[in-house]
Structure 1
């Protein structure tokens, strides 16, 4: 699946996107965030406060409990503000 990173998540990881195959035991967005956090310092820094990370699966905003099975793209971004 493709992962896309936006704003300070992208800056902290150092990538705009990447292709990954998570382990079979990673079944939800929250579990994916936890797994990514263990991939290195830059990921740990980007996801150090997972409660602030927003996610979208195939361009639809989802909660951390949402299953990732069948997802083509998962995007991660910080909370957005309007003005």
Structure 2
């Protein structure tokens, strides 16, 4: 009697595991993607070098459309107070 009960529990556990696995299956591609297809997809992933412009006030290089880190100006207007470096 105990062996039958034990077998019933095992089969019930296996059935519930099977139902859970069937419900949450992941999508798997049918065919392997070719080299040209994956390389076409990656064609836009290349990195570009950052662009720098010279500051109109002090002449140091800074990123465009941002405050100059050397003098603190943006389009000729003082935005930040820059502390002088101590030696």
Instruction: Name which one, 1 or 2, has greater alpha-carbon Rg.
Output: 2
Q: TM-score, normalised by structure 2?
A: 0.15
Greater fraction of residues in strand: 1
Higher relative contact order (CA 8 A, sep 6+): 1
Q: TM-score, normalised by structure 1?
A: 0.15
Greater fraction of residues in helix: 2
